[in-house]
Amino acid sequence: MTREEVETKVKELAAPLLKSLGLGLVDAEYVKEGANYLRIFIDRPGGVDLEHCEKASEELAPLLDKQTFLTEPYYLEVSSPGLDRPLKTDEDLQAACGSKVDVIFKQPYQGRETLVGVLTGHDGENIYVRPLLKGRTAQGPQALPRSLLQCLRLHIDF
């Protein structure tokens, strides 16, 4: 079974359980870094703390241990996705509407490798960003094809 297939199955199993705990599944990744790691990223309105991660881990571990598709030993890690996590799902994008975002392109787009702006909307093919130019917001939103994006995340002002 491929890494992507394992991640898909884990997401299908974990999402309903996490929802019952008042948590949302942000992402799951199955990686080999010497040992195998199954990382589950969770969130909820107001954020998550150590107790949320512990409870999710305690509930997920027995469920995952019963599965036959996880054939090799692994370490389960449950954590918050962090402030700089990529915005991947429509739910992520909807929650981020009106917020400043960093757009990183796969290759230069209209002469730019990156863009900072305000996320104003999204659809199946595009995200809509009102670029910030020298500290000011541009007049109208710019449609950016999702296929050109390497990463989209909330902008963090230092």
CB 26 within 8 A of CB 43: yes
Which of 43, 37, 42, 49 shows the shortest CA–CA distance to 6? 37
Strands (E), 34-86: 35-43, 75-79
pLDDT of 136 reads: 62
* pLDDT tens, residue order, the chain (158 aa): 899 999 999 999 999 999 999 999 999 999 999 999 999 999 988 889 999 999 999 999 999 999 999 989 999 999 998 888 889 888 889 988 999 999 999 999 989 999 999 999 999 899 999 998 775 666 778 999 999 999 999 999 87
Tell me, yes or no, if the two domains 3-79 and 90-154 fold the same way: no
Strands (E), the chain: 24-33, 35-43, 75-79, 100-109, 112-122, 126-133, 136-137, 142-145, 149-154
pLDDT of 52 reads: 97
Radius of gyration of the chain from its Cα atoms, rounded to whole angstroms: 18
The class that CATH gives domain 90-154 is mainly beta
- CA dihedral angle for residue 52, residue 53, residue 55, residue 56, rounded to 10 degrees: 110
CB-based contacts of 56: which residues, under 8 Å, 6+ apart?
A: 18, 21, 23, 40, 42, 78
- CATH superfamily, domain 3-79, is RimP-like superfamily, N-terminal (3.30.300.70)
In this structure, what token pair is assigned to residue 44? 């909820």
* Residues found in the chain: 158
The residue ranges of every structural domain in the chain are 3-79, 90-154
